[in-house]
A and B are shown apart, each in its own frame.
Chain A
Amino acid sequence: MQTKLRGRVILIAVVIVACILGITGFPKNVQELKENVHNRIHFGLDLKGGTHMVLRVQVEDAVNIIADQANERLKDELKAKNIAYADVKRSDLTDSQPPVHRIELRGVPQEKSADLKALVTEQFPDWELANYPGDPTGWLLTMKTTSGVNLRNQAQLQAMETIRRRVDAYGVAEPTIAEYGQGDFELVVELPGVDDPTRVKDLIQSTALLELKLVQDGPYPSREAGLAAHGGVLPPDTQLLPGPPAQNGAEQWSLVNRVAAVTGSDLQGAEPSHGMDGRPTVNFNLTRDGAARFSRVTGANVGKLLAIVLDGRVVEAPVIKNQISDRGEIEGAFTPEQVQDLALKLRSGALPATIKTESEETVGPSLGMDSIRHGVIASIVGLAAVMGFMLIYYRGSGINADLALVLNLVILIAALAYFAANLTLPGIAGVILTVGMGVDSNVLIFERIREELRLGKAVGAAVSGGFEHAFVTIIDTHVTTVVSAMILFTFGTGPIKGFAVTLTIGLLANLFTSVFVSRTIFEYVLSRREKGAELSI
């Protein structure tokens, strides 16, 4: 054998071995082999079942909170700096996209203008100060565009992180949580194997803001009753919140302090547990800072009610029996699932903004199993028909084509396993086009070799002539398709991308198998036969 040919055979063998090991790993027994293959071939959601959601983070929520805080802080700072004012209020331009956040400040004595300017520059770096049009004592603070953009991006990132923590804690294997589209603050969340979207959606979407607030009064049967009990005007720094539900499940309202004693951010941990009577509860413990505040508040208010507020609803309001420092228990009418999920949400922290669903799709695993089974049957029948035909039509050379085809698929699967890419239905479309073009490459080459033989060329010359002529065509067809696949990959999302990925990998593999491998096999066979023998084609 020529050394050049030997080098090529070795290269091909190395590629084959690497690809097969890439799919199977190094199994010690059949069981492990099955597991490895199972773990390395990733099916997409449409095939294995699961939930796919497109969510939108309402980032304006987060910006509004910051603006609210700035509004309150401005009042405090003005007082601290002895700057008199008549009014401070939010006056956003909500019509524009995105909304412009503004704080309106009226009645500031003109001699305090310099103090005000200094204050804003020092304490409110995210805001721009300008004169209120037509009012010499009025001012407008406008949130800087860059600050707004930062806040929105931050809110999206934070939401992604929180959702990821919750999903991870829920125990979903290989979730996808990623930005979707551009600049719309949309997220795509894919949860393989999850077919209970209502529960997961609640898990992902609930803000999970925990607040412990002292109860001032109540409960009342309705909001109106609560207002009426105080002559229509609530005491300063209090608010009416719905809950806790009465024994018979009826709606109730409670009057609680506006400021929380501790919030979810003071939590160190939260675990599902059982109460004294065996009912499901959530146990939590607090950070040192939070515990100090909590023990101060509970110590000063023994005998009063403490409202446990979750996302603006009082879930329960137990009596403070004695000073509590660092642990507590949340008890309510919870099912075991709700307790698991609540503990998880509290551990993963609150969402910075509300989340809206744009779309959700759940493929039940049984449908996925059906699809895979049908897909496998159809692929085997199709492949067997194609390969059988190649053997009949091209005889000995058909073996060559079939080998190239199988190797093409092995490389494709190995590459998908290596990149941890998901095999989805559109991905299978890419595989089918790959197989089609793989067969086409072989047909092109073989027909060309036959033509050369018909022209009376010797076998060796016909083979190399056939490959050389067909190569030009194969390059053109492959590059054209790869170019368009690149476009699909760059600009497409989700399913279209999946198609582009498998197609690109498949076509590159095909260039290798149908041109390089196939030719090597031909030359190897030719090198071992007698001169002048006929070619089986």
Chain B
Amino acid sequence: MEFFHEPKIGWMAKKWPFIGMSLLLAAAGLISMAVHHGLTYGIDFRGGTLVHVKFAKSPDLDALRRQLDQQNLRGATLQRIGLASDHEVIISLDLQATTSSAALDTGKKAILAALGGVYGTGPVGKVDFNNASPATVADRLLASDPLGLSSKGLEAAQKAYRDLADALVNFRNSPPRSGLIADVPELSLVKGVTPAVISALANDCYCSSYAVKNTEVVGPKVGEDLRRQALYVTLAGLGAMLIYIWFRFELIYGVAAVVATFHDVIITLGFFSLLNKEITLTVIAALLTLVGYSMNDTIVVFDRIRENFRLNKRENFVDLVNRSINQTLSRTILTSGLTFLAVLSLFLFGGEVIHGFAFALVVGVIIGTYSSIFIASPIVVFFHQRPPKMGVGEKVKVYEREAAGARR
């Protein structure tokens, strides 16, 4: 099977519409970043509080909002996520100017108090099983000792109840319950649970109708550090790539590859800004993946240009570049098609947590593929077409080195 049989497309002649489109997309993204939405950072970068809650039935957002207001959390946002049948809500709160690092989790406590206000806090002294950790359950079991293990010594009893608590909590967390059980007797399905255990648990625990699935509290310093680090490290990575390509090819190839990769990142970020999607740590991971992917794609084309150039130095450089792109076209389309297939599967089936990640890659793979042809290659062509006498100083030196490289 073969998609392309020796294509003969004059890519460089067609470059302007694509460069125009790139400029348009980049400009739209940059303008959106500058004046429209800006970049919406996730809690992990901007600092603040996030509480992800799963409810047993459709949550009463109005009542929750009223309770949040009562807790002085007027700035909190409520956002339903996932499928409607999941009954999941993310409550988030920006970093308050007044929040001191000593009281970083006041926002979280207030949100939890508001949840308690809507759904009740349960009987005094009882533990909410739906929000209890295995250790808490184990301690309660150890104290009530429904299996009568105290005669076997503290250590044996501790281990037995810890294992039992792990099993109970694991049962609660696994689908279809996904973190919520309706009542304690539901736990009798767990292996090793006796009626005595159920009655001890019923004595110590109650089951609220919500479970906190995820909480994040990020102070101002950590968020800022992370943002700075992500930027610097990515730039350093691009710099290192530039140096390697300079060493293996010529400086202009390195510059072209880095410009093309940078172009991909800017446009992808622009999409995030235009669609008002949040930039989280996993999106940064996706951008790093995109940098690697785009660089790979560009180098494959450059490699072919270098090879053809060595074999046939007298060929018109534009023709040579066109020929190189055509020779690698089959591979380019196949690889990006397959990568696109893989990230599309992540986008469709990957779930809520990696949605932003997958989106960045879906956009990035498309942009990253065409930028090798329409951004990176034209830069190299443009440089080669300059008359040798026009440069002075630095430029002449670069050109001489390049010529020397070509003779190698």
Chain A residues within 8 Å of B, Cβ to Cβ: 46, 49, 54, 56, 170-171, 181, 193-197, 199, 280, 335-337, 340, 356-367, 369-371, 373-375, 377-379, 381-383, 385-386, 389-390, 392-395, 425-426, 428-430, 432-433, 435-437, 439-440, 443-444, 447, 450-451, 454, 469, 472-473, 476-477, 479-481, 483-488, 491-493, 495-496, 499, 503
Contacts and interface: CB of A to CB of B under 8 A. Distances in A.
Contacts, number: 274
B335 A439 contact: yes
Contacts of A473: 299-300, 303-304
B179 A364 contact: yes
B300 A483 contact: no
Contacts of B222: 54, 358-359
A450 B331 CA distance: 11
B173 A366 contact: yes
A440 B335 contact: yes
Nearest to B243: A483
Given A366-B174, A487-B237, 6 more contacts: A357-B217, A366-B211, A425-B353, A443-B335, A473-B299, A492-B233
Contact of B343 (A170, A337, A432): A432
A436 B293 contact: yes
B398 interface: no
A378 B285 contact: no
Contact of A46 (B238, B338, B352, B353): B353
B118 interface: no
B289 A430 contact: yes
Contacts of A450: 2
Given A199-B136, A429-B286, A487-B236, A389 B341 contact: yes
Interface string B100-124: 0110110000000000000000000
B174 A484 contact: no
Contacts of B238: 484
Contacts of B229: 491-493, 496
A186 B301 CA distance: 45
Contacts of A374: 349-351, 353-354
Contacts of B339: 436, 439-440
A425 B354 contact: yes
A464 B315 CA distance: 27
Contact of A196 (B6, B135, B219): B135
A226 B237 CA distance: 64
B275 to A, nearest CB: 20
B342 A432 contact: yes
Contact of B331 (A367, A395, A447): A447
Interface stretch (B64-72, B139-147, B383-391): B139-147
B244 interface: yes
Nearest to A430: B289
B133 A375 contact: no
B132 interface: yes
Contact of A435 (B291, B342, B350): B342
B169 interface: yes
Contacts of B125: 335
A371 B351 CA distance: 7
A473 B248 CA distance: 11
A337 B142 CA distance: 10
A171 B162 contact: yes
Contact of B289 (A170, A340, A433): A433
Interface of B: 1-2, 6, 44, 52, 54, 101-102, 104-105, 125, 132-136, 139-140, 142-143, 162, 169-170, 172-175, 177-179, 211-219, 221-223, 225, 229-230, 232-233, 236-241, 244-245, 248, 281-282, 284-286, 288-289, 291-293, 295-296, 299-300, 303-304, 307, 327-328, 330-331, 334-335, 338-339, 341-346, 348-354, 357, 361
A378 B346 contact: yes
Given A359-B219, A366-B178, A495 B134 contact: no
A454 B281 CA distance: 47
19 contacts: A193-B134, A194-B133, A199-B133, A336-B139, A358-B104, A359-B216, A359-B217, A369-B173, A370-B175, A378-B348, A379-B345, A383-B342, A430-B289, A432-B289, A436-B339, A440-B296, A477-B296, A491-B229, A495-B282
A495 B350 contact: no
B357 A429 contact: yes
Contacts of A335: 125
A389 B338 contact: yes
A56 B221 CA distance: 11
Nearest to B350: A378
A487 to B, nearest CB: 5
A493 B236 CA distance: 14
Contact of B135 (A171, A371, A476, A492): A171
A425 B360 CA distance: 14
Contacts of A170: 135
B8 to A, nearest CB: 14
B135 A280 contact: no
A435 B289 CA distance: 11
Contacts of A364: 52, 173, 179, 211-214
Contacts of A378: 345-346, 348-351, 354
Contacts of B237: 484-485, 487-488
Contact of B101 (A356, A426, A430): A356
A428 B105 CA distance: 30
A369 B174 contact: yes
Nearest to B100: A356
Contacts of A487: 233, 236-237, 239-240
B368 to A, nearest CB: 11
Given A357-B101, A366-B213, A369-B175, A479 B132 contact: no
Contacts of B233: 487-488, 491-492, 496
B43 to A, nearest CB: 9
